[in-house]
Structure 1
Amino acid sequence: MDQHQDHAQHVVDQWAVVRPELDVSPVLVIGRLHRLALALTAELVKVYNAHGLGEGDFDVLATLRRTGEPYELTPTELMDQTMVTSGAVTKRLDRLEGAGLVQRRVSDGDRRSRIVVLTGTGRELIDRAAPEHFANEARLLEPLTTSERATLARLLAKLGAPLGV
């Protein structure tokens, strides 16, 4: 296969030879989405890494920052807003707390509950990284017109809705 050939189309063409009765046309969407997600993640992570962050670290810091002052959430709220497991949130928080980017404290309202707070250092870091991140996302979307972006966003929302995405 030529490196510039569309991989998804190549897969469909191969299946057409060996199992022509199968409808493998979903590969043209799902296969492309999967490969695109991997490629996009690789590009996005470059900005995170330039700031000493991993993808999950950026996600937690950005989530806390966009909540507004006092930049705090419970671990459960973070889990819901970042769509990861509680174990993954705990691991991220351990790493970020160790780096001085977040603090965990006991809730004033419920001594059994913990609150995650963005530190001043964490806020400074996410305030430096976020503009670069959004510029990087815009760069990745440059092949699309504004209208195409809006259409793609609408179609992706429609595709993701039944999956809770």
Structure 2
Amino acid sequence: MGLIGRTKRLTTHLGHGMDRVFKAHGLNAASFDVLATLRRAGAPYALTPSQLIDWTMVTSGTMTNRLDRLEKEGLIVRMRSEHDARSVTVQLTPQGFNLIERCVTEHVANQHRLTEALSAEEQAQLSQLLGKWLSALEKE
């Protein structure tokens, strides 16, 4: 019970800690995830909605809602393919790119802050153990 309880409390602390950075940039974890995924894709920072769904592991309805919000805020654009009118690509706007660049920098620094109580060796050990645990649970 102690292990599960501490894991739950850590999840809460980590979530709140990361949310502070997202909120400071007008984002939430979901919008950060989409923008960061587009950023990781590399220039021209564009993916299809299907690729975004695969990378973020959400449903198509959830992705549509996220994209609608980000497009309304001017952070992404949806572009129709010149070759196939049914095909759409989602791309970061310059405003979206600049926002995610600033946010990622703070996010990484924040992650270091949130984990600094553990040495590099302890972090590696914990990561290995959590990976083992997660793998076993995901096989069920």
TM-score (norm 1): 0.78
Q: Are residue 150 (structure 1) and residue 135 (structure 2) matched?
A: no
SS at 2:84's partner residue? coil
SS at 2:91's partner residue? strand
Q: Deviations over 1:27-50 (max 9, x none)?
A: 333332222112211110000000
Q: Give, in whole Å, the separation in 1 of the partners of 2:84 and 2:126.
A: 43
Q: Which has the larger radius of gyration?
A: 1
Q: Which has the higher helix share?
A: 2
Quote the residue 1:118 is aligned against. Answer: 92
Q: Deviations over 1:41-92 (max 9, x none)?
A: 1110000000111111111111100110111111121112112222221111
Quote the residue 2:112 is aligned against. Answer: 138
Q: Which has the larger displacement, 85-94 or 57-66?
A: 85-94
Q: Are residue 100 (structure 1) and residue 52 (structure 2) matched?
A: no
Percent identity between the two aligned chains: 50
Quote the residue 1:50 is aligned against. Answer: 24
Gaps of 5+ in 1: 1-26
SS at 2:116's partner residue? coil
Q: Deviations over 1:74-127 (max 9, x none)?
A: 112111211222222111111100000001112345321211101111000011
Number of aligned residue pairs: give it.
138
Higher relative contact order (CA 8 A, sep 6+): 2
Gaps of 5+ in 2: none
Quote the residue 2:42 is aligned against. Answer: 68
In structure 2, which of residues 57, 60, 71 is the aligned counterpart of residue 86 of structure 1? 60
